[in-house]
């Protein structure tokens, strides 16, 4: 049970922060299928900065480089998200097509740039940045409590960072004037405009925030899943976070529950393979459990979902 909880949390929390980014974008009215591209480019930016500063050797500077990587991953994700924001808000492009194209662009760019940087700095034309393994800590006393203690055992450094950012994001979305205006943009943008708000500006900012949060999640995945950055390690995670926010009805609390469910399904599948003594091929098969679970959940609960009323609609100030 401890293994399932520990590893499940390590996967669920980065997925959760990416999903929050999706909530920000879609609650403002902008459909965002580009979360996977945002997390990939954000993680690339964070990993590239680490490689440039350390010269490929992060020994002795893991903690400092870790937090620097998180910061630059958020900046990289935010900057890359501006492409989607520009296409969808001022240029009024099709939001679904824009998201798909950005995902493809992110993969192509990160593969090319990673190999170019590795060639220039190290003379090795690979598309991977090798990072250190993210450090862990255990909370004394509480960690000794059965079952509950697993939540405080072998905690990655990025987990409290994600929790803090998620709490602030929740406060900003539900308790601040900006959050009220953002949510109104996704339900009734004309009312926001009539009240003196700037719908385009709010939506643009929301998409940029989604990029920053996705970059943070992508960097955390890079440090925990493979201790390296590679464009291939993110396949499907962006879309899984989209499924989580849809299942969570575009609300942060229920979305956390969906992400935990996906995380525990993934770690539970790995644990089952280990207990049965099956080959590694079955471990790869168990990686599909969160996606199968997504299909089942959407099959039975999609009828009760209530998306923002103006989601995906291009805002036309002259249309009433």
**Cross-strand pairs, 155:** 137
Domains of the chain (ranges; CATH) run 2-132+155-304 (1.10.3470)
pLDDT band for 73, please (50, 70, 90 cuts). Answer: very high
Whether the per-residue pLDDT at 2 is higher than 90: the answer is no
Place of tokens 């209530």: 306
**Structure confidence by residue, pLDDT tens digits, 188-235:** 999 999 888 999 999 999 999 999 999 999 999 888 876 778 877 777
Phi-psi region for residue 131, left (φ > 0), alpha (ψ -120 to 50) or beta? beta
What's the chain's average pLDDT? Answer: 86
Tokens encoding 152: 């405080």
Would the pLDDT of 306 be above 60? yes
pLDDT tens string 215-225: 999 999 888 87
Mention every residue, 6+ apart, whose C-beta is less than 8 A from residue 140: none
At 103-133, the pLDDT tens digits run: 999 999 999 998 888 888 777 788 888 787 7
Helix (H) or strand (E) holding 137: strand 136-137
Q: How far apart, in whole angstroms, are the C-alpha atoms of residue 195 and residue 185?
A: 11
Kind and range of the H or E run holding 38: helix 35-54
Pair 135, 62: CB distance under 8 Å = yes
Q: Is 107 strand, coil or helix?
A: helix
Report whether 20 contacts 213 (CB < 8 A).
yes
| Residue of 212, 157, 204 whose CA lies nearest to 42 | 212
pLDDT > 70? residue 319: no
**Structure tokens given for 14:** 């980065």
Whole-number Å distance between alpha carbons of 273 and 265: 12
Higher pLDDT, 82 or 123: 82
Mean pLDDT, residues 238-260: 92
Give the residue with greater pLDDT, 195 vs 52: 195
pTM above 0.85, yes or no: yes
């Amino acid at each position: 049970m401890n293994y399932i909880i520990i590893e499940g949390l390590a996967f669920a929390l980065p997925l959760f922060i990416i999903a929050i980014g999706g909530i920000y974008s879609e609650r403002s009215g902008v459909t965002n299928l580009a979360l996977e591209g945002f997390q990939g480019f954000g993680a690339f930016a964070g990993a590239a900065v680490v490689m440039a500063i350390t010269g490929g050797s992060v020994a002795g500077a893991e903690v400092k480089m870790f937090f620097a990587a998180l910061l630059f991953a958020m900046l990289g994700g935010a900057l890359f998200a501006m492409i989607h924001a520009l296409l969808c808000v001022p240029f009024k492009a099709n939001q679904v097509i824009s998201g798909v194209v950005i995902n493809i662009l992110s993969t192509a760019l990160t593969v090319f740039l990673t190999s170019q940087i590795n060639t220039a700095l190290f003379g090795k034309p690979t598309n991977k940045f090798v990072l250190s393994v993210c450090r862990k800590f255990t909370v004394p006393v509480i960690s000794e409590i059965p079952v509950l203690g697993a939540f405080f055992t072998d905690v990655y450094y990025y987990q409290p960072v994600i929790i803090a950012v998620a709490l602030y994001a929740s406060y900003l979305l539900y308790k601040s004037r900006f959050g009220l205006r953002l949510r109104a943009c996704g339900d009734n943008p004309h009312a926001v405009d009539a009240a003196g708000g700037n719908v385009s500006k709010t939506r643009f900012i929301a998409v940029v925030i989604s990029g920053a949060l996705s970059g943070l999640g992508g960097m955390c995945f890079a440090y925990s899943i493979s201790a390296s950055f590679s464009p291939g390690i993110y396949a499907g995670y962006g879309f899984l976070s989209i499924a989580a926010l849809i299942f969570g009805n575009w609300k942060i609390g229920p979305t956390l529950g969906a992400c935990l469910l996906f995380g525990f399904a993934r770690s539970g599948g790995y644990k089952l393979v280990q207990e049965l003594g099956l080959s590694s091929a079955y471990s790869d098969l168990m990686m599909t459990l969160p996606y199968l679970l997504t299909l089942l959940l959407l099959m039975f609960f999609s009828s009760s979902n209530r998306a923002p009323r103006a989601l995906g609609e291009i805002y036309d100030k002259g249309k009433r």
